[in-house]
Amino acid sequence: MPYLNAKVDGRIDVTRDTQIILEQRYLINTDNPGSPNLQTQLAQLPINYDIGETIGVAQQINRLSFSLRGTFDSATYDNSLLTNGQVSSNADRNFDQYAGILRVGYEIDPGLKPFVEVQEDQRIHQQEFDRNGLQRDSVGTSAEVGTDVDLFGSLTGEMAVGYVERDYQDPTLPNVSGPIANGTLIWQATPLTTAKLTAASQVYETIVDGASGEFSHDVNLEVDHAFRAWLIGAVKAGYGTDNYVGSTINDTRYFVSAALTYIFTRELQVRAEVRQDWQTSATSYMAYTSTTFLLGMRLQR
């Protein structure tokens, strides 16, 4: 399975209290082998591409901070090659998303900055109807309450909890709604060892007949240890659930991985990783196990 996740972000300081936020991102990926979004009798997994960009402005007024960001993301899917030599189109999965994100925060002290974030977005598919005759364009709204933390000289990051609701154009598709959690907390246990807790919630698109969206929740824990200044080892474990709202499909995912990062220079790092995944499902043919090997390069300046 090919995989590439690239991101370039930057900031322009207009004044001491005003910044312009910029980001571009590019993702190449495939669906998991047990995904119900895949056709049967596949010769190989079709590749999908996600391209996105963000532009925004952040303003600080004493202890009060505001940021307003606009995002655009476009998802496209290659055709599926079947074992009988035929080609099946995935053009009905292609869509664009436009979003606006407002965050308001207040600095109680330098180590604790609570915030409220609200997002409104719209997804527009390139085809009005999917392969099942459903209109999958939708509008989503989410609200989260969280905090940035920098405590005890060892605990940093941010974590937020909230609620999301997604309304679909097709009247036969049920709305997707429920609690969400997003963010990352990093604990510097020792000068050589770091632990990172990550939570993520997302409503993904699906082509499952009668299902409106794939409501996913993930929690990951990673521990890094520096064996040398230039060699860092990492172990990681994760748990996730996928609920295809409107259908009986509910999947549970687990994974463990181990990685080594070699630091050539301050600007260049190379990372090798092996990962084992498991998926269990109420639908037996969607259960699977997989082993993945990743080799990546990080450039930073």
pLDDT at residue 39 in the model: 83
Q: What is the pLDDT along the chain (301 residues), one digit of tens a residue?
A: 677 888 899 999 999 999 999 999 999 998 877 788 888 888 888 999 999 999 999 999 999 999 999 999 999 999 999 888 889 899 999 999 999 999 999 999 888 999 999 999 999 999 999 999 999 999 999 999 999 999 888 999 999 999 999 999 999 999 999 999 999 999 999 999 999 999 999 999 999 999 999 999 999 999 999 999 999 999 999 999 999 999 999 999 999 999 999 999 888 999 999 999 998 887 756 788 889 898 888 877 7
Tell me the residue range of the domain where 260 lies.
4-299
Q: Are 19 and 29 in contact (CB under 8 A)?
A: no
- Size of the chain, expressed as the number of residues it contains: 301
Please state the domain count of the chain: 1
Beta bridge partners of 58: 19, 67
pLDDT at residue 285 in the model: 65
Closest CA to 105 of 163, 47, 138, 59: 59
pLDDT at residue 5 in the model: 85
pLDDT at residue 298 in the model: 82
pLDDT at residue 40 in the model: 81
Q: What is the pTM of this model?
A: 0.88
CATH number at residue 290: 2.40.160
Q: Are 257 and 228 in contact (CB under 8 A)?
A: no
33: left (phi over 0), alpha (psi -120 to 50) or beta: alpha
| SS3 readout for the chain | CCCEEEEEEEEEECCCCEEEEEEEEEEEEECCCCCCCCCCCECCCCEEEEEEEEEEEEEEECCEEEEEEEEEEEEEECCEEECCCCEECCHHHCEEEEEEEEEEEECCECCEEEEEEEEEEEEEECCCCCCCCCCCCEEEEEEEEEEEEEECCCEEEEEEEEEEEEEECCCCCCCEEEEEEEEEEEEECCCCEEEEEEEEEEEECCCCCCCCEEEEEEEEEEEEEEEECCEEEEEEEEEEEEEEECCCCEEEEEEEEEEEEEECCCCEEEEEEEEEEEEEECCHHHCEEEEEEEEEEEECC
Token digits of residue 215: 């409501």
pLDDT at residue 276 in the model: 95
Q: What gap in Å lies between CA 66 and CA 48, rounded to an integer? A: 34
